Chains A and B, each alone.
Chain A
Amino acid sequence: MNARLEMRSGVTVSRGGHGPLLEYVGVTMSYGGLLAVKDVSFAVERGEILCIIGPNGAGKTTLLRMTSGLLRPSGGQIWFEGLRIDAMPAYRIAALGSTQVFQDIQLFANMTVLDNVMAGAHVWTDGGLLGTALRLGPAVDEERRIRRAAVDQLALLGLSGVLEEYPSELSWGEQKLVGLARALLCRPTLLLLDEPYGGLDTADIERLSTTLRTLKSEGMTILMVEHLTDIVMDVADRVVVLHYGEKLAEGAPDTIREDERVIATYLGE
């Protein structure tokens, strides 16, 4: 497994794939003189939902962006699938089996919902310029497979009625689900979610929680940044609390809820 991953990523550093799926070792990120993340270490086990919470400016989103490869840490190491990824380009990390849904979703405004979701299949397909331009047999077959997978994924999330709509024509909740559908079509082993519940109404919150639990039951690992602590405590297996870039606490939701430092700095009485 790891030999294949190494070949695809072009990275030679590997320490086997039997440990945690994702591990941060002393990760630091500074913007000039400002330390956004300071010496953070923790691991994400396979098949769990881990939530990172903390006040604004705690470094949650920065940590997520470093995990996807969109930011390069100033120090420390990030390991994914037994490979060191902190200096790897984002598209290669995606090829290892990780993808992210951003807080503002970032659907492609110039594509329909169906095309947006089909774009998610890019990572596990390989149709090149020549094959697609000449519509050679394998490229045509692959395009059919992608379309079928995208239609099925959208149907699973109850979005069959908006295939040909553009993102601007959708509600915020629908856009969130399309973003999730696109990420799921990447078939990731690690799903990174940045404030997935933000702006959703009660029904959509319940719908999303059910979807995340289903994904977990299917073996997917989810690392999520979220502000809504009630939902976090309900959905997460474990919680990591960041405060001014440092890890304040880590543990099961019940433990975190009773941690005095977390109560004092973030949860309140």
Chain B
Amino acid sequence: MSVISTTKSRVASAYRLLRVPRPALVLLAVVAVLPLVGNPYVLSVLINIGLYAIVAMGLVLLTGLAGQVSLGQGVFYGTGAYASALLCLRLGLSPWLAMPIAAAASGLLAVPIGRAILRLRGIIVAGVTLTVNMVFYYLTISVSDLTGGATGLVQIPRLPYPKVLPYTTFVFYVTWLLLIVALILSCNIAASRVGRALKAVNLLGGGSEDTAQVLGMDVMHYKVLAFVVAAVFAGVAGSTYAHYTSVIEPHTFNVQTSVLVSIMVIVGGVTSPWGAIVGAALIVGLTEFLREVAPIILGGPTGAYELVAYGVVLVISLLFLPAGLCSLPARIEQWRKERRI
């Protein structure tokens, strides 16, 4: 009896220590059983959602928590992908070793870029990060000896995986486990001393740089920190993408990708890590739906419809749910309270 109670108490304290949000455990359980019921197509869509959600979660920390608007996450998504691919193709490293190095490379690249850009404020930061993304895109095309130019890199090694699972299923598990880890880390950061400092420098959300400074917070340090963490998240996603598809090309990491991730965050909810998952699921789901349905109903290629659909979703979200889909339960609760009054 005492052994059982000791074990229970150890499990409870481990749970408290990790502070895993209960919904994250539910998500973990869903992820565990999904491959049993989903076909390869569904799993590939879910992998896309997971990868975008990891990039978007970094943006939630950067924009939602620290108030820095970036339209350049494609740079770090791409850096992770190219670094991982090159480490494997040129140096023969194992993908498992290349992945953390690639994520670290994204973070390292973010330090000088962040220190230079985050001296600026507001929408100018968005404009400059967008420009940096364009420069990155053209660099990946022009430095063809290293990046393979417009055709990109091919035959990137797959992640070593147990042959009892199909590769898509394995990558699905890897992607969603990484996403859940990113979710837990994000929740922990948000509820900590570092999270409070990030909120304090968030001028968009009601922070104050003057107050942050007189409370002993180094404003530039925390802005750059958020920028670097967002870059590492994007680098992890980029590296996973490279080993999943085995092919990468510059087009995948252009400005449109960065804007798309921003739309995901706005639609899902910029202040909650869960918003990244909800937003990525909605936008990727919508893209897949249009890809299947639009040619049948409307005819022609789907690209134009996708852009219109993203625009419509963004406008509806900003008009009716400016805090994103994640705020919907709170809004419904508020509406119920008002009706009772």
Residues of A participating in the B interface, judged by any CB pair closer than 8 Å: 68-70, 89-91, 94-95, 98-100, 102, 106, 108-111, 115, 118-123, 125, 127-129, 132-135, 137, 139-140, 142-143, 146, 182, 186, 192
Since A94-B215, A129-B229, A132-B192 are in contact, a sample of 11 more A-B pairs with Cβ atoms closer than 8 Å, ordered by chain A residue number, is: A95-B216, A102-B211, A119-B196, A119-B200, A121-B193, A127-B194, A128-B194, A129-B194, A133-B189, A135-B18, A182-B215
Q: Is B202 an interface residue (CB 8 A)?
A: yes
Task: Evaluate whether A100 and B214 lie within 8 angstroms (CB atoms) in the complex, with A135-B18, A135-B19 already known.
Answer: yes
Contacts of B1 in A (CB 8 A): none
* Contact flag A109-B193 (CB < 8 Å), given A94-B213, A99-B215, A132-B188: no
A108 adjacent to B208 (CB under 8 Å) = yes
A132-B189 contact, Cβ under 8 Å, with A110-B202, A119-B196: yes
- Which secondary structure dominates chain B's binding surface? helix
Residues A139 and B192 in contact, CB atoms below 8 Å apart: yes
Give B residues with C-beta under 8 Å from A.
17-19, 185, 188-189, 192-197, 199-200, 202, 205-208, 210-219, 225, 229
Determine the residue in chain A with the shortest Cβ distance to B189. Answer: A133
In the assembled complex, 10 residue pairs joining A and B whose CB atoms fall closer than 8 Å, in A order, are A89-B213, A91-B218, A94-B214, A99-B214, A99-B216, A106-B211, A108-B200, A108-B207, A133-B194, A186-B215
| B214: chain A residues within 8 A (beta carbon) | 68-70, 90, 94, 98-100, 192
Q: Is the CB of A142 within 8 A of B193?
A: yes
CB B310 to nearest CB in A, in angstroms, measures 27
Of all chain B residues, the one with the shortest Cβ separation from A100 is B214
Choose from B206, B216, B217 the contact partner of A110 (Cβ within 8 Å): B206
CB pair B19 A110 closer than 8 Å: no
CB neighbours (8 Å) of A70 from chain B are: 210, 213-214
Q: Which residue of A lies closest to B186 (CB)?
A: A133
Q: Which listed residue, B185, B189, B199, B216, touches A91 by the CB 8 Å rule?
A: B216
Question: How near does chain A come to B181, taking the closest CB pair, in angstroms?
Answer: 10
Chain B: which residue is nearest A126 at the CB level?
B193
Complex contacts, A135 vs chain B, CB 8 Å:
17-19, 188
* Complex Cα gap A56–B216 (Å): 29
- Give which listed residue, A122, A129, A134, A140, contacts B216 with CB less than 8 A: A122
Shortest Cβ gap from A23 to chain B (Å): 20
B210 touches A132 (CB 8 A): no
CB distance from B243 to the nearest CB of A (A): 24
Closest to B228 in A: A129
Chain A residue nearest to B226 (CB atoms) is A129
What is the distance, in angstroms, from B104's C-beta to the closest C-beta of chain A? 13
Nearest 4 CB-CB pairs, A to B? A109-B206, A123-B216, A132-B192, A90-B213
Cβ of B218: which chain A residues have Cβ within 8 Å of it? 89, 91
Shortest beta-carbon distance, B88 to chain A, in Å? Answer: 27
Residues in B neighbouring A94, C-beta threshold 8 A = 213-216
- The CA-CA distance from A4 to B216 in the complex, in Å, is 17
In contact, B193 and A146 (Cβ under 8 angstroms): yes
